[in-house]
Amino acid sequence: MKQKYWFYALFPVFFWSLGSVVIRLTFGSITTISFAAFRSFFGAIVLMAICAVKKVPPPKIRDLPLILLAGILGFTLYTICFNTGLKFVTAATANVVMATVPLFTAILALALFKERVSLLGWLFTLVSFSGVLILMLWNGVLSVNEGVFWFLAAAILNSAYNVIHRKMTMRYTALQCSAYSLLAGAVSTSPFLPGAFRELGSATPEAIAVVVYTGILSGGVGYFFWSQALALTDRTASVTNLLYLPPFIASIIAYFMFRELPGWGTVIGGAVILIGLWLFQKYATTEKRTASG
């Protein structure tokens, strides 16, 4: 039986890859905190509307602290750190640092849920990470400044969100997990919405389109599919390892949108990323299924 989580995980991977390319269109029009508020706000509206139609029950009171934590870490603080980091570092540095998300996620999943990754799994994970390094450092473009620490914080926050979300999928459906988390993020950033809408009134059409896109597709729809993928797998790393793909996909998208021609670093680095992912999915996950009978 094929692993259906692949189908669900690849949608948000594409949405997030596109978002990392077009987000530059908001600079100068939308501030970082306003962007975070819009992302949670629009995403929450979409998913809560679906929940209303499907008559989805509210979460249990005992789970509210976990849901609030997921929303604050995965949407509010993550978006602020990510967007702030983009103001200080090159795209190469940003992608290299964010490529540590699968590693941090695997470590947190091991510490909290005892989800063990085999030696082969760690090896193939490092193969994919080396592909990101090749892709981004081919021309020797790596800047190190305070932006690196912002992205390191964003990577850790995203990893924590993945682990918390994985725990939530054991109690709720993918739709509930995504909707509750986005709503928590929207609540935490609600004090900034009035100012955010004032900014939106004077923003460029491109910036407005990016805000709506990141809220609805990259946010609401993307995280719904991501939750579904996490719910269908027995190992968090099987899903989060796909986060090595965005740098490669983003390079292709950047070419078609801005005519940024991919170099040999993109070709070779992308090939290494795909090889590492294929090896992990074929051998590391097979070993887990065989061992579990």
CA distance 128 to 275: 7
Domain that holds residue 159: 5-115+142-233
**For residue 32, is it within any domain?**
yes
What would the pLDDT profile of 163-180 be if each residue is shown by its tens digit? 998 888 888 988 898 899
**For residue 250, is it within any domain?**
no
Q: Which residues contact 138 (CB under 8 A, 6 or more apart)?
A: 263, 264, 265, 266, 268, 269
Cα separation values, 145 from 25, 88, 207, Å:
23, 7, 27
Q: Does the pLDDT of residue 281 top 80, yes or no?
A: no
pLDDT confidence of 254, banded at 50, 70, 90? confident
**For residue 87, is it within any domain?**
yes
pTM of model > 0.85: no
Cα separation values, 221 from 48, 137, 262, Å:
12, 32, 29
Residues 145, 88 contacting (CB under 8 angstroms): yes
Question: In the chain, how many H helices and how many E strands?
Answer: 16, 0
Q: What is the predicted pLDDT for the residue at 289?
A: 41
Q: Does the pLDDT of residue 145 top 70, yes or no?
A: no
Q: What is the predicted pLDDT for the residue at 81?
A: 93
Q: Span 81-88, mean pLDDT? A: 85
**For residue 258, is it within any domain?**
no
Q: Does the pLDDT of residue 73 top 90, yes or no?
A: yes
More confident residue, 78 or 118: 78
Q: What is the predicted pLDDT for the residue at 91?
A: 61
Contacts for 282-287: CB closer than 8 Å, 24+ residues apart: 283/120, 283/124, 284/117, 284/118, 284/120, 284/121, 284/124, 284/237, 284/238, 285/3, 285/235, 285/238, 287/118, 287/120, 287/121
**For residue 276, is it within any domain?**
no
**For residue 137, is it within any domain?**
no
Q: Does the pLDDT of residue 292 top 50, yes or no?
A: no
Q: Does the pLDDT of residue 160 top 90, yes or no?
A: yes
For residue 102, the one-letter residue type is: P
Q: What is the predicted pLDDT for the residue at 180?
A: 94
Question: Tokens 């294929």 sit at which residue?
Answer: 278
**For residue 55, is it within any domain?**
yes
Sign of the torsion formed by the C-alpha atoms of 186, 151, 113 and 226: positive
Average pLDDT taken over every residue of the chain: 82
**For residue 253, is it within any domain?**
no
CA distance 98 to 82: 9
Q: Span 77-95, mean pLDDT? A: 79
Q: What is the predicted pLDDT for the residue at 285?
A: 55
Least confident of 84-93, 163-172, 194-203: 84-93
What would the pLDDT profile of 91-117 be if each residue is shown by its tens digit? 656 766 777 787 788 788 877 777 676
How many structural domains compose the chain? 1
Q: Does the pLDDT of residue 288 top 50, yes or no?
A: no
Q: Span 199-214, mean pLDDT? A: 92
More confident residue, 141 or 179: 179
